[in-house]
A = this chain, B = another copy of it.
C-alpha cells in the first residue's frame, strides 16, 4: 500500500502541502496567542475551515502535529542563532548568540516549552527523533566554541562538552524566566543571566579577564 504518489501527486484545489502548512501556521498561532492548552484538533479545524480529519490525513493525529511544530520551532531557533554574525571576537559572538537564543524563546514562550518536552500539550511526550531535530542548533553552539578555541581565546577542550555547559546555563535561565520563577530576584537579566554566562566563559578562557566583570550587555 505504498502509494507512489507522495510529495506532489496528491490533492486537488488547494494542494496537500498547502493545507498542511496552513494547519501548522494556525496551530502555531493558537499556541503563541492563547497558550498550549488552547490548542485542540476541533478548534484548529474550525479555524482552518476544515474538519478534524485534516489533522489525521496530514499528521496522523495531534501528537504528529505537535512533532511537526517542534521540528519547525527548532529549525527557526537554528536559523536565529545562525544569523548571529561571526566577528573576530569569539567571546562576544557567544554573548550575541545567547541573546539571540533568549530572544527567540521570549518571542514564542509556549512553543519553547513544548519543544523542550515540558508543557506536554495534551498527552504524548516527545520521542527520540523529535529531540534529535534540535541537534542542528546544538552543532551551531559547538562551532562557536571551536572558533573560540582556534582563536586562542578559549582553552582547548571537548567542544561538545563546553557547548553543553553553555547551553545548560542558558536553558536554565530561559526556563526559569518563562515560568516566572526567576522573579525571586530583582533585575534577573543583569544579576543572573549575564553574570552567570560571564562566570562560565571566564572559567573557559585561557587568560581569565578582570575578576570583577563589567556586566556585559547584548
Contact = CB atoms under 8 A, between A and B. Distances in A.
Interface of A: 35-37, 113, 116-120, 122-123, 125-126, 128, 131, 134-135, 138, 155, 158, 160-161, 164-165, 167-173, 175-176, 178-185, 188, 191-193, 195-196, 198-200, 202-204, 208, 211
A135 B200 CA distance: 25
Q: Within the oligomer, what is the number of copies of this chain?
A: 2
Contacts of A158: 191
Nearest to A183: B131
Q: Which 10 A/B pairs are nearest by Cβ-Cβ distance?
A: A172-B172, A118-B118, A199-B203, A117-B179, A161-B191, A165-B196, A168-B172, A164-B192, A164-B185, A37-B123
Given A117-B179, A135-B184, 14 more contacts: A35-B125, A37-B122, A118-B119, A131-B179, A131-B183, A164-B184, A164-B191, A165-B196, A168-B193, A169-B196, A175-B175, A198-B203, A202-B203, A208-B208
Contacts of A118: 113, 116-119, 175, 179
12 contacts: A37-B120, A37-B123, A116-B118, A117-B179, A117-B181, A138-B184, A161-B192, A165-B192, A169-B169, A171-B175, A172-B175, A200-B200
Contacts of A119: 118-120
Contacts of A183: 131
Contacts of A122: 37
Contacts of A35: 125
A10 to B, nearest CB: 33
Given A116-B181, A168-B169, A168-B172, A200 B204 contact: no
A160 to B, nearest CB: 5
B120 A179 contact: no
Nearest to A199: B203
